[in-house]
Structures are given as structure tokens and as C-alpha cells.
Amino acid sequence: MNQMKTFLLLAGMTALFGAMGLMIGGTNGMVMALGMAALMNVGSYWFSDKIVLKMYGAQPVESGPLYEMTENLARRAGLPMPKLYVIDNPQPNAFATGRNPDNAAVAVHTGLLDMMTEREVAGVVAHELAHIQNRDTLIMTITATLAGAISMLANFLMFFGGSSQNGEGRGVHPIVGLVVMLVAPLAAMIVQMAISRTREYSADRRGAEICGNPLDLANALRKLEIGASRVDNVVAENNPATAHMFIINPLHMRATDGLFATHPHTQNRIAALEAMVEGGEVRGTARLKLWKK
């Protein structure tokens, strides 16, 4: 069901993108708009992980207890070991990126490692591995790219109006252009957030299965909610299009940050995890190599 919802939302966003191209330049404009979207997505497919990791100053980890824990969890999930990174950032948070399970990365903030127990860290890492297994990292990259492209097309529409050179259009009325300029990016943002919220619930569920105890992830989410709301993440604030990648919303400094939520309410996520325990869906705890006493 989630896969179908994601497909329909992406299809709607692509149709909106093509419709804006049609308004700007008729059939040729639509073809050019969709072609541009395809090129942007190809670039995102190959390079988005490297760009975001460099943006956040991620440092590779190739050995040690955190590496061994991640390797253990990846084995439990039936995944190849992803590249592992640590980001020197006091805000407790984490994210996954990469185009597929064979080319994936998990990045963990130092703030998370400082405040979490071993099992809570395992719950967070398992959540990120679930995103990789569900191929959410690729879906969210494509969604973010389309959302950005729609905003760019909206600006073109506002400043240049519709084209009638191909004989297929009469141009766009300035008022219509203004409405589209405002509504189209908003619609793209709503679609982006809807996909993100849908994928978070799925990653929570699968992450709980991977780590072996839903309460480990539930406890981690409680701490993440408090920590992320109190500690600034300046890089994320300056690059809000990346907010959906994190396990918890990293934005809170600006007044507009709370206007549109990229994540479900944390309490709802916790309740869903607790329901898994009450329903006996996951039994036992993961036997993980831990490094804290």
C-alpha cells in the first residue's frame, strides 16, 4: 500500500511538472520540462549522496564498535554493509543516503552517540538501514529534485509568462501565473512531505524488526525529539530541502520551520512501535556487540 501511495504521489508531482511546462511553452515546453526533470534525477541518482555527505562534513568510519554494530545489524537485515560516517554535530540525529543498497551510506551525529544507550543507537541505525532496504533514499532524492524543479519552473512562469510561438497557447494571464507560482511549489512541498511521512512509519516498523526490540527505537525517538528541539543544526537550517532525510526533523530555528512538517508526529511513531510490542509482533532483543557499560 505504501509503495502504491508513493507511486501515485510521484506521478502527481511529475504531472504537475509537465503541466507547468505546457503552460510556459505548449507541447515543446512540456517535453523540455520533463526532459530537464529526467536530467536532474539522473544527476541526483549518481551524485546526491556524495553532495549531502560533503555538505554536512561527514567523516568515514571503517572500524570500531559503531562499525561492528552497524555491520551486525546490516547482516541481520540481509543487507551489504553500507558506508558509515560520523558527523561532528551536537544535535542528536542521523540519516541514510545512496541510490541502492549496494551504494548506500549511514551518517550518525556525535550528539546522538553522546546521549543514547547502545540499544537506542542500534534502534536508530536499524531505522536508517530500513530506509536503505526500502529504497527510500532514492525515492526521497527524486522527490526533492522534482520539488525544486517545480519551484524553478514557477519562477520562470512568473517572469516570462506562457509562450505562443508554437501556435499551441495564448500565453498565461499574469494573475494565473501568480497563482501558479504560489500554488505549484506549495503542492510539490505537500507531496514531498506526504511521501516522507509515509516512509518514516515503514522504516520505523522494519527498523524495529531489524534491531529486535521496538522499544529501543521508541526510546531513541523520545530523546531525539527533545534533543533536536533544543540543539541547533545550522547546516540543516541553511539547507532545509535535506530535512526529510533525517530520522527526526532537524529544523526549529526559524519561524517558518514548523509550517510544514516533513516527519510524522513523534508520539504517533512511538505509539505505533509500542503497539508492535503489545501485539507480540517482535519478540526478544537483538544480540548486539555493544561498547558502553
Active site (catalytic) residues: 128
**What CA–CA distance (Å, rounded) separates 217 from 282?**
13
**What CA–CA distance (Å, rounded) separates 219 from 124?**
10
Cα 238 to its chain centre, rounded Å, is: 16
- Residue length of the chain: 293
**What CA–CA distance (Å, rounded) separates 96 from 115?**
20
* Cross-strand bridge partners of residue 85: 60, 107
**What CA–CA distance (Å, rounded) separates 13 from 144?**
11
* Cross-strand bridge partners of residue 107: 85, 95
**CA dist list (Å): 11 to 6, 23, 149:** 8, 18, 15
**What CA–CA distance (Å, rounded) separates 15 from 31?**
12
* Cross-strand bridge partners of residue 100: 103
